[in-house]
Amino acid sequence: MASPQDHAYHLLNEYSNGFMVSQVLFAACELGVFDLLAEAPEPLDSAAVVARLGTSSHGTELLLDTCASLKLLKVEVRGGKAFYQNTELSSTYLSRGSPVSQRNMLLYTARTTYRCWGHLAEAVREGKNQYLQAFGVPSEELFSAIYRSEGERLRFTRGLQEVWSVCGRSVLAAFDLSQFPLICDLGGGGGALARECVSLYPACKVTVFDTPQVVRLAKEHCSLLEEGRLGFCEGDFFKDPLPEADLYILARILHDWTDDKCSGLLQRIRRTCKPAEHVVALT
């Protein structure tokens, strides 16, 4: 029987090596391992994966075997060769073609969030985020790091769409929102949550309020507009007039800002909304 010390040491190793698991997942997504196996008509051996991805033999074998050990891939040995295919987890959430794929959000996490967490000790010492060290932009300019290129802005927007494709409907169904004919989704990005809302509540109209760059991107790439029931409004919710609504939704918004900023935003909403006002904050 394992001693308490053995358990503690195992836990220590699990914690200290956790970043390696994340990097295996991120690398396999970036290289297209799960997409390739999803499209293949049968399991592939490592040589076939190498040929199609243009990666090194040794590195690919190690990555595939590690994915198998993490239950991200299934492996079957035939004639002395290992053949790989996706598990239910990777087919559902990691392949590009799945309707609930989380690939873009994972790549955003790998390229933005992960880099920030590499400066956690400095963040604790200084009491502020480390975007300057990680990306070369001032810490006050929060979304300058997230939106540092058109490609990253699109990836982040699509990543949020992916998140809401999994949990958006259940979140919105937790309360009966049918009593609110006009709804405003502040910082609603590409409109994925808004689309779930109009689908769930046919009598509601939803306006997504976001920056001009995000609204333009949503209209160009997200294909989420529903004539007459889902619309977009451009602006800065800290400064510009807010659309009038019966219900305001702030989904994954308040955690980005200081308490003072959040208080100011909520006060602006309180002054704008109708007498029977409601605000829903989703974290």
CATH of the domain at 38: 1.10.10.10
- On whether both 277 and 178 belong to a single domain, the answer is yes
- How many angstroms separate the CA atoms of 21 and 113, rounded? 15
- On whether both 46 and 115 belong to a single domain, the answer is no
Q: Does 158 map to a domain?
A: no
Q: How many domains are there within the chain?
A: 3
- On whether both 269 and 172 belong to a single domain, the answer is yes
Last residue of a domain, one of 70, 93, 116: 93
pTM for the predicted model, two decimal places: 0.84
- On whether both 185 and 271 belong to a single domain, the answer is yes
What pLDDT tens digit does each residue of the chain (283 aa) get?
A: 667 788 999 999 999 999 999 999 999 999 999 999 999 999 999 999 999 999 999 999 999 999 999 999 999 999 999 999 999 999 999 999 999 999 999 999 999 999 999 999 999 999 888 888 998 887 677 787 788 888 888 899 999 999 999 999 999 999 999 999 999 999 999 999 999 999 999 999 999 999 998 999 888 877 655 557 899 999 999 999 999 999 999 999 998 888 999 999 999 999 988 765 555 555 4
Q: Does 142 map to a domain?
A: yes
Range of the domain at 135: 103-148
Last residue of a domain, one of 93, 111, 139: 93
The residue among 222, 164, 174 whose CA lies nearest residue 201 is 174
- On whether both 128 and 47 belong to a single domain, the answer is no
Q: Does 162 map to a domain?
A: no
- On whether both 46 and 21 belong to a single domain, the answer is yes
Last residue of a domain, one of 148, 183, 218: 148
- On whether both 41 and 86 belong to a single domain, the answer is yes
Q: Does 157 map to a domain?
A: no
Residue of 10, 58, 221, 255 with catalytic role: 255
The total of other beta-carbon atoms located within 10 Å of residue 91's CB is 16
User: Scanning the structure block, which residue is given the tokens 């769930």?
Assistant: 200
3-class DSSP state of 74: strand
E strands in 135-193: 182-186
The residue among 104, 62, 105 whose CA lies nearest residue 84 is 62
Is 10 annotated in the active site?
Answer: no
